[in-house]
């Protein structure tokens, strides 16, 4: 019996969807060239063998992320994958601090207490952690607990995932739990139609629809999944 789940490509989306019900809370001062120049510097230092660890670069999503981060409060929590340099800069990690982390081999595991940011190279690994933080934040926001209510009542957790991670079961479990319990957790799907190096729509035999309350955008990067496309000898 043939599988009835047909292959399909998601419709082309221009810009960012899912922002209609959100309010802008931040003025983003960085412009696309600021982000691109940072990645170019990382590329150069990687090819000069200064960075002796896996590094994931990005391009083509500068405008989308700048738009999204207008809705991210400086005190919000950010969870990202291994491709996180733009997110870190936009959330307020100083350029020099981020570059130092990358040179020390922490490109895939950027971590910061202030601003609040946590990244992981494990596919979907940040999702349950983000869910737990959102649950804790929800408890702190409960005015009946009278604990940090005024400080945290408007804060939320942002979890950025790729289109491959969006297809996994851990996303749907966390998404349904967060929705059911009205947790302050906002998912953002960044769709480059790649599951590492293979097209997501072919690897997963199709793509699921994006929920209306999930922020979504598409992009195409000039960089490969890892590195710069050149072999580097250390």
pLDDT digits (tens, 9 = 90+) for 62-92: 999 999 999 999 999 999 999 999 999 999 9
Cβ contacts of 230 within 8 Å, gap of 6 or more: 47
- pLDDT surpassing 60 at residue 176: yes
Q: What is the pLDDT of residue 10?
A: 59
Q: What is the pLDDT of residue 3?
A: 40
The model's pLDDT over 85-143, given as tens digits with 9 standing for 90+, comes to 999 999 999 999 999 999 999 999 999 999 999 999 999 999 999 999 999 999 887 76
Q: What is the pLDDT of residue 159?
A: 99
* CA dist., res. 142 & res. 150, Å (int): 10
* CA dist., res. 90 & res. 111, Å (int): 14
**Percent of the chain at pLDDT exceeding 70:** 89
* Beta pairing, strands 111-112 & 117-119: antiparallel
Q: What is the pLDDT of residue 149?
A: 55
- The domains located in the chain, with CATH, are 29-109+118-218 (3.40.50.970)
Mean pLDDT score of the chain: 89
> For the whole model, what pTM was predicted?
0.88
User: What is the sign, positive or negative, of the torsion defined by CA atoms of 203, 220, 157, 100?
Assistant: positive
Specify the 3-state DSSP secondary structure of 178: helix
Give the other-Cβ count within 10 Å of 27's Cβ. Answer: 7
Q: What is the pLDDT of residue 148?
A: 59
């Amino acid at each position: 019996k043939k599988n009835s789940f047909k292959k399909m490509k998601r419709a082309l989306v221009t810009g960012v969807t899912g922002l209609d019900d959100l309010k802008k809370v931040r003025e983003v001062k960085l412009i696309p060239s600021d982000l691109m120049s940072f990645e170019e510097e990382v590329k150069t230092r990687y090819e000069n063998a200064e960075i002796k660890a896996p590094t994931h670069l990005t391009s083509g999503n500068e405008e989308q992320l700048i738009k999204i981060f207008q809705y991210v409060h400086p005190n919000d929590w950010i969870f990202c994958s291994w491709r996180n340099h733009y997110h870190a800069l936009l959330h307020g990690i100083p350029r020099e601090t981020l570059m130092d982390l990358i040179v020390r081999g922490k490109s895939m595991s950027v971590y910061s207490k202030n601003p609040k940011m946590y990244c992981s190279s494990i596919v979907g690994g940040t999702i349950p952690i983000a869910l737990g933080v959102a649950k804790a934040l929800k408890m702190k926001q409960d005015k009946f607990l009278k604990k940090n209510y005024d400080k945290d009542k408007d804060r939320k957790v942002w979890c950025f995932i790729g289109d491959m991670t969006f297809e996994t079961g851990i996303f749907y479990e966390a998404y349904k739990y967060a929705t059911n319990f009205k947790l302050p957790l906002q998912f953002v799907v960044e769709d480059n139609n790649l599951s590492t190096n293979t097209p997501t729509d072919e690897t997963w035999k199709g793509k699921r629809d994006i929920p209306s309350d999930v922020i979504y955008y598409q992009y195409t990067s000039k960089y490969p999944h890892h590195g710069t496309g050149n072999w580097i000898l250390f």
